[in-house]
A and B are shown apart, each in its own frame.
With several copies, the nearest count.
Chain A
Amino acid sequence: MSASLITRLGPVELPNPVLTASGCGGTGRDLAQFADLSRLGGFITPSVLPQPRAGRPTPRMAETPGGMVSAMGLPGPGIDTFLRRDLPFLAEQGARTIVSVGGNSVADYAEVARRLRDETAVCAVEVNVACPNAEDRGLVFASRPSAAADVVRAVRTHIRPGVPVFAKLSPDVSDLVTIALACADAGADGLSLINTVLGMAIDTTTLRPALSGVSGGLSGPAIRPIAVRSVYQVHAALPQLPIIGMGGIATGLDALEFILAGASAVAVGTTLFHDPSAAARIVRELEEALTARGIGRLADAVGLAHRPYGFVPPQVHALSTTEPNHEPKTEERAQ
């Protein structure tokens, strides 16, 4: 018998845990040529802002080993056009739509959330906390617990109960768990981990930064270990909060790694650029992987890596049983 992939994000049930990551599946129109959107676990929209935004000039991306750096500048049509054109399209396709909300001020986020309140096609909301805060020298909200909490609270206030709000965090912080806690306290029903890692490429021909935005976000398989670590850390600290894990997922086994670390769902981003039909393949591979491991229900695999399993050498065993859900300490790092 093959494994059941049904998963829950708080009050929402999804037929499978494989979503498309914000900003990586476009508006859905182009992706629909390669994937039946209704067969995906869900579709996360690009971050929606109150106004249309052209984004940054080209060059917007550079290829790097196992990944890419990109600085897009949050391009998008703004909430009006989104509601008129993109959301109805996604609903027509039968996509379970998770709307990513962005902004450069708490008021921006609140405004978008307010406009989403009565939209029944919205299945869940993701707050992209990794946007630059115009009021804080352009520091991203996600880099301070209080700023992150402010935007989450602003969104949560406007969104109907029953529609879960996920806070999407950046890994570029000294203490991710503290930020996650602050978001949970501010009403986040779950967390999305991770947004891109701050990186940069220099063009060795022009001898200048490769991106018009100088630095950009590193994404793709290269960052997978950072993402898995983030999910594992946060799940250890907040085991009751559902997590959407993402960062470099390219195969079903990659998705399983995130599930074992503690994610209830996963999102596929950069891989869609390489392989636009990847999401359906990953669903299939994940199902096969669970079945091969005798795991009947996806839910049983969530966070499994936190528990001891099979043969455990005595010392490791001692560690694991005294602290079954322990956060990896910083001493558990390299060297």
Chain B
Amino acid sequence: MQVSGTVLTVREVGGYHALTLVAPAIAERFRPGQFVAVAVGGEHTGRLLRRCFAVYEVKSDYGGTVEFVFADRDPGTAWLTGRRSRDTLDVVGPLGRPFRLPRDPVSCLLVGGGPGGAALFSLADALHRRGCQVHFVLGGPDAAHVFGARSAQRIGDSATVVTTDGSVGSRGEVAGVLPQALADSRADVVYACGPTETLRQVSQVSSDYGIPVQVCLEEFLQANGACGTGLCLTCVLPVIGDDGVTRMLRACADGPVLRGERVRWSDLGTIPLEALGAPRALHVMEDS
């Protein structure tokens, strides 16, 4: 859906910003893990690429609202922070494949890094509705850059918070506390959203423990995507399919949620030699 949504609020949440807009058609169709692609810069802009943000939450107020959380890191997001209520935003969504939910009431560990934590709260609601246990691990560089620590403590069956500088929770990285959190929560499945490096580590640890992991590649998509709608092929990464073949999948339309153990994390930014359709020249280089 491509809609013109009316901005309700733009507020600061710690070191991030949260923008809420009225977009009933998107709110209605949204499933946890999906994202919106927002046009930035206004009508006269020379900035053509949409910015992709995982949805934090949808509500039924005003017919249906959508809220997303973002770090202000480029002129496009700076423009977003300057929106005022009643401005309109051109938004496409909901986009991408959502988190797949277990049918049975299993124990779930939800791992968030930085602004990525925001994507986990609607997931937590959905899991709770299915009778799942929801345990949180939330991390970030400092107290201002961990999203949702208090909410997680309130709604989670448990919540571990970890920061690089120890300003809130324990000092350390998400990956460091993960084995303990997996053990404590007796997790059957892991869901994660956050920096790509965090997703890599979470996938590694979870796989080591034999636990399936779904990751939401919001940050990778933000860094690489131009459209969010699957048209441009700029957001590709190597993923191993059920048939064992590595394919270059789109983080937007084939993701943003992918099975963490299937992503070839150390080959991001490359075309692995054995990927489907990898350049022949490179095969030759390897052979010779």
Q: Is B truly associated with A?
A: yes
Q: How extensive is the interface on chain B, given as a class?
A: 35 or more
Asked whether A68 lies within 8 Å of B231 as measured between CB atoms, the reply is no
Binds B, one of A24-32, A122-130, A182-190, A234-242: A24-32
Taking A276-B231, A315-B282 as known contacts, 19 extra A-B pairs with beta carbons closer than 8 A to each other, sorted by chain A number, are A26-B230, A55-B233, A57-B270, A58-B237, A60-B224, A61-B234, A67-B48, A68-B226, A75-B233, A77-B277, A220-B48, A272-B231, A273-B50, A274-B50, A276-B227, A276-B229, A313-B270, A316-B270, A318-B285
- For B278, list chain A residues within 8 Å (CB): 54
Asked whether B235 lies within 8 Å of A58 as measured between CB atoms, the reply is yes
Task: Give bound CA distance, A140 to B146, whole Å.
Answer: 49
Q: Counting CB contacts under 8 A, is A275 at the interface?
A: yes
Mark contacts of A21-41 with chain B using CB atoms, 8 A cut-off: 1 yes-contact digit, 0 otherwise: 001111001110110000000
Task: Give bound CA distance, A30 to B231, whole Å.
Answer: 7
Asked whether B227 lies within 8 Å of A57 as measured between CB atoms, the reply is no
Q: Counting CB contacts under 8 A, is A225 at the interface?
A: no
Given contacts A30-B253, A275-B39, A315-B282, contact A55 B277 (CB under 8 A): yes
Given contacts A25-B231, A63-B48, A273-B231, contact A58 B236 (CB under 8 A): yes
Residues from 264 to 304 in A contacting B, C-beta threshold 8 Å = 270-277
Among B233, B253, B271, max chain A CB count under 10 A is at B233
Residues from 174 to 221 in A contacting B, C-beta threshold 8 Å = 212, 220-221
Task: Give bound CA distance, A308 to B251, whole Å.
Answer: 27
Residues from 47 to 88 in A contacting B, C-beta threshold 8 Å = 51-61, 63, 65-68, 70, 72-73, 75-78
Cross-interface CB contact of A314 among B39, B237, B270, cutoff 8 Å = B270
Given contacts A68-B48, A274-B50, contact A54 B276 (CB under 8 A): yes
8 nearest A-B residue pairs (beta carbon): A30-B230, A52-B277, A273-B227, A54-B277, A66-B46, A53-B277, A26-B231, A61-B234
- For B277, list chain A residues within 8 Å (CB): 51-55, 75-78
CB distance from A225 to the nearest CB of B (A): 12
Q: Which residue of A lies closest to B267 (CB)?
A: A313
Interface residues, chain A, with chain B CB atoms under 8 Å away: 23-26, 29-31, 33-34, 51-61, 63, 65-68, 70, 72-73, 75-78, 212, 220-222, 270-277, 313-316, 318
Task: Give bound CA distance, A220 to B232, whole Å.
Answer: 13
- For B226, list chain A residues within 8 Å (CB): 61, 63, 68, 70, 273
CB distance from A257 to the nearest CB of B (A): 15
Q: Which residue of A lies closest to B236 (CB)?
A: A58
CB distance from B112 to the nearest CB of A (A): 24
Task: Give bound CA distance, A329 to B271, whole Å.
Answer: 19
Mark contacts of B261-288 with chain A using CB atoms, 8 A cut-off: 1 yes-contact digit, 0 otherwise: 0000000111100011111001001000
Residues from 206 to 247 in B contacting A, C-beta threshold 8 Å = 223-224, 226-227, 229-237
Task: Give bound CA distance, A276 to B227, whole Å.
Answer: 8
Task: Give bound CA distance, A58 to B230, whole Å.
Answer: 15
Task: Give bound CA distance, A223 to B114, whole Å.
Answer: 37
Task: Give bound CA distance, A65 to B232, whole Å.
Answer: 18
Q: Which residue of B lies closest to A314 (CB)?
A: B270
Given contacts A60-B224, A61-B226, contact A221 B276 (CB under 8 A): no
- For A56, list chain B residues within 8 Å (CB): 271
Q: Which residue of A lies closest to B39 (CB)?
A: A274
- For B275, list chain A residues within 8 Å (CB): 54
Asked whether A273 lies within 8 Å of B48 as measured between CB atoms, the reply is yes
Q: Counting CB contacts under 8 A, is B190 at the interface?
A: no
Task: Give bound CA distance, A52 to B285, whole Å.
Answer: 19
Given contacts A54-B279, A75-B277, contact A273 B232 (CB under 8 A): yes
- For A29, list chain B residues within 8 Å (CB): 230
Task: Give bound CA distance, A63 to B224, whole Å.
Answer: 10
Asked whether A60 lies within 8 Å of B48 as measured between CB atoms, the reply is no
Given contacts A66-B46, A66-B48, A273-B226, contact A52 B276 (CB under 8 A): yes
Asked whether A270 lies within 8 Å of B48 as measured between CB atoms, the reply is yes
Asked whether A72 lies within 8 Å of B234 as measured between CB atoms, the reply is yes
Mark contacts of B33-62 with chain A using CB atoms, 8 A cut-off: 1 yes-contact digit, 0 otherwise: 000000100000011111000000000000
Given contacts A54-B276, A220-B48, contact A60 B234 (CB under 8 A): yes
Q: Which residue of B lies closest to A56 (CB)?
A: B271
Asked whether A60 lies within 8 Å of B279 as measured between CB atoms, the reply is no
A–B pairs, 16, beta carbons within 8 Å: A26-B230, A30-B229, A30-B231, A54-B248, A55-B248, A56-B271, A59-B223, A61-B234, A67-B46, A68-B48, A68-B226, A70-B234, A72-B233, A72-B234, A273-B226, A273-B227
